[in-house]
Amino acid sequence: MGWLGGTFTIDRGVLLGGAGWVLVALGLLSAFGGGIDFFRLVPGRPRPVAGSLAGTFALGAVSGVAGFCTGPVVGAIHTLALSSASPARGGTLLGLYGVGMVLPITFIALLVRKLGHRSVSWMRGRRFRVGRLRLHATSLTMGAVTVRVGWILIFTNGMAAVPELLPSNWNAAFENLGRQVDAAVPSWAWTALVGACC
């Protein structure tokens, strides 16, 4: 599989350009009310009901595929877990990462349950018309964001051409400070601190 990584490195511009144009097309599709329903392609399968086990699994699968922004973080956590000296530390890292991802969503769900669904009706957006087009504010906003991400991928070479936010000497100073703090504090203390914060 080493050839695959080399191919992606050599053809990085083509890969990023293609991915960017796909994001632009999907963003426009989403903005104007389109979508892709994969369940209609499965013969003889009923569409999952809201709240069903199949629907929940499908939502998780889509989130796993669509959550491309968490991919590098998940990869880093898995790398840390695999390279840690003990299985307990690796498992603790994975567990704390999972708790950190689940707690905000659980908090939001509890808040919505307590306040009622009407308190978050603003999150659903509104339908409106532009000529013959019937649009939805949420779809239009998410489509515009997706198109913007596609354009950024295309015209910045995957963010490689974007200037740094901080000067490089500041980045080096922060990195050295982090190393010094990490060397001074034992690893079990970091794990305990993250566990206490969660």
Per-block average pLDDT, block size 10, for the chain (198 residues)? 57 80 88 69 60 67 60 73 76 82 82 77 78 84 88 81 78 88 83 70
- pLDDT of the residue at 1: 44
C-alpha neighbours within 13 Å on the C-beta side of residue 138: 6
- pTM of the predicted model as reported, rounded to 2 decimal places: 0.52
Report the C-alpha gap between 16 and 8 in whole angstroms: 10
Query: Helix, strand, or coil here: 71?
Result: helix
C-alpha neighbours within 13 Å on the C-beta side of residue 96: 18
Q: How far is CA 154 from CA 32, 97, 157, in A?
A: 22, 32, 6
- pLDDT of the residue at 197: 67
Tell me 35's DSSP state: -
Report the C-alpha gap between 53 and 158 in whole angstroms: 37
